Structure 1
Amino acid sequence: MNRTFDRYAGIVFLAVGALFVVESQKITASSYGSNVGSNIFPLGLGIFLALMSIRLIYETFRYKNTGREKEKLDYKRFGIIFSAAVLYAYFLEDIGFVIATFLFLMIGFQTMQRGKIWSSLIISAAFSFGVYYLFVHVMDGTLPGFPSWLGLE
């Protein structure tokens, strides 16, 4: 871990989280056909990001000083996950939340740790279906469903 990088990243992510919280207040509280407003996810994500950033900043003060060790940055993994996130956002409406989220999580899990394919499959599927069910059926929100060519609508 690089103390300076982590501290600056924590400050930047704290600012981004605060921006999410502030800007989510400008989104309408409810959307057509939904009991859950479109401001809920950005607000929750902003709060979560801010809390995790505060934790990261706190942890940088607890690092043990081990000297000047240089770490090699892993650009390949970053590129794969960044590309997957961009493709996730681009195809979310076309292939639906469950399939897009499942594929994004599988790519992320396999990029970070090769192997353990079955646990990655189970976690990705459970998370994708679980969030969809919770948001759409329990909270009466709206998310992009399955594509029409699957016939699961």
Structure 2
Amino acid sequence: MSSHTKLQPGERAFNLLLLLFSLGVLYEAYRISGAGFESINSPGAFPVGLSVLLIVSMLVIIAGQFRKEKPNTRGALDEARQFLHEHFPLPIVIFSALAIGYLFLLEPLGFVVATPIFLYVAMVYLRHGRFVSSAIIAAVSIAIIYALFKLLFQVYLP
């Protein structure tokens, strides 16, 4: 068999998660519709249609995976290790942790304090140092964002 017919590590589990996500979308779309449809243009009809399309697509993809060869791994743990190594390199994991930390700091510190801290720390990490230029870029970026939202759009920034 050629290499394009071989499953990638974690592919089956990822597609099963997408199927579960699609079922969750269907549930939420059904809740939007009010548990019933009066017409094709009732609230929730479009989301329900899209979620059904998602579910059918995922079922077709998962069914097609049974014709593929298993990945070159030695068990589920090895497959998980390969999947994590391939799809979650260290810079992505650290930046994601920084972004999650920013989300938690946004409420108590506010946008004007939390955002420059996040931008500065993220840029210092991603640019491997460069402390002064990262501080300047973060300060200019926040000044532009603040001016746009506060002065131009007249939106309150917490």
Q: TM-score, normalised by structure 1?
A: 0.43
Comparing both structures, which one devotes a greater share of its residues to helix?
2
Q: TM-score, normalised by structure 2?
A: 0.42
User: Higher RCO, 1 or 2 (CA under 8 Å, sep at least 6)?
Assistant: 1
